[in-house]
Amino acid sequence: MNRTGLLIVLAIGVVAGLVFGLFPGLDLAISGYFYRVVDSAQNTFAWRLYPPLMMARDAGLWVGTILIAPSVAALVIKLLLPRTKLLISGRAILFLTATMALGPGLLVNVILKDHWDRPRPIDVTEFGGVEHFMPWWKPGGDCPSNCAFVSGDVAGAFWTIAPAALTPPQVRAIAYGAAIALGTVMACFRMMAGAHFPSDVIFAGVFTFLIIWLCYALIYRWPRTRLEDADVERALERIAMPGYSFIVGIFRRRKTDL
């Protein structure tokens, strides 16, 4: 999570934005290669119906779920039993849950996918659909909901960069490589299925990384905002104790009445 990585991703975003913005037909041209893959039943974008590919995509989706699960479990236990010590690092819990919630959750699946209204490749008229193609930068297309810009699956796959950032230095490069590979493979899967244009998957990765980088800087790096594990633990206790005390008080009163 250094400045070099930030500059690289910003450069990717700027170049992709300019290229696909100035030449929007490039999105159609690349997606057209996958559109022309036809199965025996004459289904276009036929890779979307290929069972091994579908299974691989589903397996990729589980990676993020598995990696975030320990943090969510530790957070829930702490909120239910605030006097118990956190089972894992408080900063790690905050970092992982915040990046997942803000990136693949809020920005991608709530704000962009349901409000940018960009049709998916499989739905545009150029590929046999009824909706009109829109360049990435222009909101307000024909898609009613769960639209193309940006890819939720790809954002979730690239989110694995967040836990990779917390691995020991000796294996961090390998973890980063695995996370980037997962995101790239998921991006290919979604384009092959006709679910997303190239610009959709590129910006899914760019936006997710930027949120991860910012959260890491706020929690771990910048002196004015940097936190310690004890800070997070105390904050969670302050949040959870009123509710915990209220529930304990109810049970004590019932026990006294009996």
DSSP states of 208-252 as a string? Answer: HHHHHHHHHIIIII-TTT---HHHHHHHHHHHHHHHHHHHHHHHH
Span of 48-52, 111-115, 140-144, 253-257 with lowest mean pLDDT = 253-257
Residue 257 domain-assigned (yes or no): no
Which of the four pLDDT bands, split at 50, 70 and 90, describes residue 39?
confident
Report whether pLDDT(41) > 80.
no
Report whether pLDDT(255) > 70.
no
Which of the four pLDDT bands, split at 50, 70 and 90, describes residue 251?
confident
Residue 208 domain-assigned (yes or no): yes
Which amino acid does the sequence have at 143? C
> Cis omega (within 30 of 0) on the bond before 37?
no
> What's the rounded mean pLDDT across residues 200-222?
98
Report whether pLDDT(43) > 90.
no
Shortest CA distance to 192 belongs to which of 63, 19, 11, 47?
A: 47
Shortest CA distance to 162 belongs to which of 87, 33, 71, 43?
A: 71
Distances (CA, A) of 232 to 94, 129, 236: 8, 50, 6
Residue 27 domain-assigned (yes or no): yes
Which of the four pLDDT bands, split at 50, 70 and 90, describes residue 70?
very high
Question: Domain tally for the chain?
Answer: 1
> What's the rounded mean pLDDT across residues 107-111?
96
Residue 179 domain-assigned (yes or no): yes
Cα–Cα dist 3/142, whole Å: 39
Report whether pLDDT(55) > 80.
yes
Residue 53 domain-assigned (yes or no): yes
Distances (CA, A) of 110 to 97, 149, 192: 16, 11, 24
pTM of the predicted model as reported, rounded to 2 decimal places: 0.93
Shortest CA distance to 214 belongs to which of 181, 165, 252?
A: 165
Residue 42 domain-assigned (yes or no): yes
Residue 258 domain-assigned (yes or no): no
Residue 104 domain-assigned (yes or no): yes
Q: Which two tokens stand for residue 194?
A: 């006709």
Report whether pLDDT(139) > 70.
yes
Span of 116-125, 130-139, 249-258 with lowest mean pLDDT = 249-258
Q: Which domain, by its residues, includes 238?
A: 3-252
State the DSSP string of 51-71: HHHHHHHHHHHHHHHHHHHHH
